[in-house]
Chain A
């Protein structure tokens, strides 16, 4: 096991960094898209709500792998070719946006109805009430599940391995087929994933407890 670590530390670290980069890029973009979609879903505008609902219901129920493969296989047939890394990030972003939209929608609906009525009756517009009254309260409900989404994102980023996306899993697979020492290699890859996901999990549990204690 030590041998693999010393011989392949450079590719392992490169994969680790690529996994982190892919997850972070997908997180930032899907936070923006997901939040907008979540707000649209509860909006009174029928068209916006319809589009957002369609998007969410579509991508919530299709495997991530299919979306990533779509961008890896179909996209280059019509537009520019994308490498596995980019196709993976696009797929992750589209997929995670749907989950974040659901989380945000649930957060907004978690704020009691009276808050909206109270805001409107003091003369604020719908947009202002949303922005100054509903969303600040919704954020508190939304933070723990959003943290879990990021953990899922890191784990899901392993699909990059299936489109030669140069992530941790991809290099792990490569090392395993070179050394034939599959057992030790996958244990090492697992440890690298745990370095990211375990602290995040415990952090989210702590945040959740703190938020619950503040209520």
Chain B
């Protein structure tokens, strides 16, 4: 074990570069999958004929597949049908496809947890269907949805490590390169990358706890 050698400035810089890519991928995927997940969740909640069924079927298939398979798919299989994405955007596409499905399920569950009476009450006071959803259902559902949504974001950050398989230069990938040079670096590198992931994820989950208590 060689901690001083492993934690040289060059190596630490390299790890932090990886962390930056991890955070970038996570942030872009969080934003995209939240938007798509919210739309899918709403469509399923509103029970639009055909559309809701289709959305439900797609979501059920995607959230029951391993993310790793979807990453393989966007990087190795899509070029076969003429869609060629860079490593970075393959990873973003895979994360977004998978996490949108997971989030849509959380959002649909949150919306469904609001008693039907709320919708009826909203409609009977003269609000339109859309107004009732926007002003009455969503604000109440949000309270139930925020903690699981943040947990899903934590899962997303952890999941970005899988993109190392398509050689995305994120944290895990860079740490593996460093410890590949010298077996004495293996343990220090595992400690360093474990610590970095842990700090990011723990901070996010603590944030979720804060939101949970301040909402109650």
Contacts and interface: CB of A to CB of B under 8 A. Distances in A.
Interface stretch (A4-12, A57-65, A129-137): A57-65
Contacts of B73: 186, 190
Contacts of B182: none
Interface string B64-88: 1111110011001101110000000
A77 to B, nearest CB: 7
B68 A159 contact: yes
Interface in B163-216: 164-165, 172, 176, 179, 183, 186-187, 190, 193-194, 197-198, 201-202, 205
A210 B94 CA distance: 34
Contacts of A74: 186-187, 190
Interface residues on A, range: 35 or more
Chain A facing B: main interface SS? helix
Interface in A63-87: 63-66, 69-70, 73-74, 77
Contact of A65 (B76, B154, B162, B179): B162
Interface string A154-182: 01111101100000010011001000011
Given A65-B172, A155-B66, A193-B66, A182 B77 contact: yes
A156 B80 CA distance: 26
Contact of B66 (A63, A156, A181, A185): A156
B15 to A, nearest CB: 13
B162 A159 contact: yes
B183 A201 contact: no
Interface residues of B, number: 37
Contacts of B61: 190, 194, 198
Contact of B165 (A70, A162, A198): A162
A63 B72 contact: no
B205 A155 contact: no
Q: Among A63, A66, A151, find the residue whose CB has the most chain B CB atoms closer than 10 A.
A: A63
Given A61-B154, A193-B69, 17 more contacts: A57-B202, A58-B198, A61-B201, A62-B201, A63-B172, A66-B197, A69-B176, A151-B64, A158-B68, A159-B68, A169-B68, A169-B69, A182-B76, A182-B77, A186-B73, A190-B61, A201-B60
Interface of A: 57-58, 60-66, 69-70, 73-74, 77, 151, 155-159, 161-162, 169, 172-173, 176, 181-183, 185-186, 189-190, 193-194, 197-198, 201
9 contacts: A66-B161, A69-B176, A77-B186, A162-B164, A169-B69, A182-B76, A186-B72, A193-B64, A193-B65
Interface of B: 60-61, 63-69, 72-73, 76-77, 79-81, 154, 158-159, 161-162, 164-165, 172, 176, 179, 183, 186-187, 190, 193-194, 197-198, 201-202, 205
